[in-house]
Amino acid sequence: MRSNLMKLGLEKYPHRSLLKAMGLTDREIDQPLIGIANSFNELIPGHIHLDKITQAVKAGVRLAGGTPLEFGVIGVCDGLAMHHRGMNYSLLSRELIADSIEVMAMAHPFDALVLVANCDKIVPGMLMAALRLDIPAILVSGGPMLAGRFQGREVDLISVFEGVGAVKAGRMTEAELQELAECACPGCGSCAGMFTANSMNCLSEALGMALPGNGTIPAVAAARIRLAKTAGMKVMELWQKNLTPRQIATRAAFENAIAVDMALGCSTNTVLHVPAIAQEGGIELSLELFNDISRRTPHLAHLSPGGPHHLEDLDRAGGVPAVMKELWEARLVSGTPLTVTGKAVADTLAHSQVLDAEVIRSVANPYHKEGGIAIIKGNLAPDGAVVKQSAVAQEMLVNEGRARVFESEEEATGAILGGKIKSADIIVVRYEGPKGGPGMREMLTPTSAIAGMGLDKSVALLTDGRFSGGTRGAAIGHISPEAAEGGPIALVKEGDRIRIDIPGKTITLLVDDAELARRQAAWQPPQPKIQHGYAARYSRMVSSGSKGAVCE
């Protein structure tokens, strides 16, 4: 046992004494010690119930003969951090989460880990730690929130964000917005659409690092508690077999996860997180791989923000296993990778089936022939940019317009809500990348304002920052190289013409090379926006968004 490093032998009696100080018996100390990383806090709806999920996990560990030892992990609520300085610290938290779990598991040599998580940066941060440490581990999430209901229709958090723009445009009263805010988020869980949190929880299943149902069973369901207990028991099996994350999360498993990403129309943030997780396992995933898999993988489930369904609908329709079964039968995913069930993918899918053919369509009758995400390149984004093409209106897939240039999200939002953006404008928001932001702020406020004001079929937004999984419309992010590194987005001027061709996977600044060279020669890097503390250190270490914004 790995934990023998701190409990076995004459010289370890002081260590045993410390463990006994917490009430542990010799029997508990002599059993496998299982670290339980718990990101519970009282700030995030997706985390407010993780104390109960963790208790269920610990019960499962004890049932299977292990001793669970819980420790805390930070978590940022992106919704609460949105559109102020707090969002500079959201993506940054992913690295802290991975590092802190590494610290805990090395300082206290656990025999295995259960990672209790939910929400945007917490799930990828925990999976990064699991691949880095490579000791038996399993992830269990708190599950998605139920959708709310407003005026006879299903709503979620994004409905409220878009409501702000609707009020500004006179399409909704402030009293209606207040009523909507009361009911859009009815209880605990990660926000109800296929936003980043639920995207990563579903992909943890597809990757094999979480049990079937992890991504879709509602937070309030008793099945969620049973899943947590099962995860606690299952990690003991993983320990007994010495089945570790790098044996599960192989390259084939990551390709499976990307295929499911495309079939579900997941958040563009997965293009940051999945390569970052893979890198911890020594696997490099290029942006071209995302496009290759997207081209051959149809979009089968159309969930909010782009479509009408929510996570509870996906769960009722068969969940991630049903989606994978559809892809597996079409030979679009591999059945050979192992999963935390201890079985291969093909074995775990044997009894799965689609229970609602409208929520999960067949490969022969998809919502879109290509996957939900596209990587596009051109002279404005030589190293690539990302768009959730399944959430773009048909008329915006190919368009050309004049650049409206802003040096920050706040400037752009003020112009949008102030009525200064017109049809066919292309908003450019720069110096919001990993270094320049710093932290690559999500821009749900301006994109929601565009949609709420009814401009999502005529206005595009480009940025070296990123978007919430709740963003819809022609929102193209992760433009690399970023402006702070002198990328071409730094050279765009007000009124320049930009052409976007999402099907053709191109984005072009319609300015001749000689003029761009003159602008490049005159460009000077700006002063860092944050010059002290963790964010300043992160800015100096972080890589490009095209490389997953990992720290080097």
CA-CA distance, 344 to 89, in Å (whole number)? 38
Long-range pairs of 51-56 with CB within 8 A, sequence gap ≥ 24:
52/225, 53/116, 53/140, 53/142, 53/224, 53/225, 53/228, 54/116, 54/228, 56/225, 56/226, 56/228, 56/229, 56/232
Q: Which of 524, 488, 522 is nearest to 508 (CA)?
A: 488
Task: Name the residue with tokens 């708190």.
Answer: 142
For 41, the token pair is 């806090």
CA-CA distance, 95 to 534, in Å (whole number)? 11
Beta partners for 210?
139
Q: Which of 199, 194, 210, 206 is nearest to 254 (CA)?
A: 206
| DSSP 8-state class, residue 296 | H
CA-CA distance, 385 to 376, in Å (whole number)? 5
CA-CA distance, 265 to 259, in Å (whole number)? 10
CB 351 within 8 A of CB 322: no
Residue 483: count other Cβ atoms within 10 Å of its Cβ. 27
Catalytic hit among 390, 448, 468, 546: 468
Residue 468 known to be catalytic: yes
CA-CA distance, 460 to 475, in Å (whole number)? 6
Q: Which of 311, 343, 144, 140 is nearest to 227 (CA)?
A: 140
| Continuous segment of H or E residues that includes residue 34 | strand 33-38
CB 445 within 8 A of CB 91: no
Strands 460-463 and 475-480: parallel
Catalytic machinery residues: 468
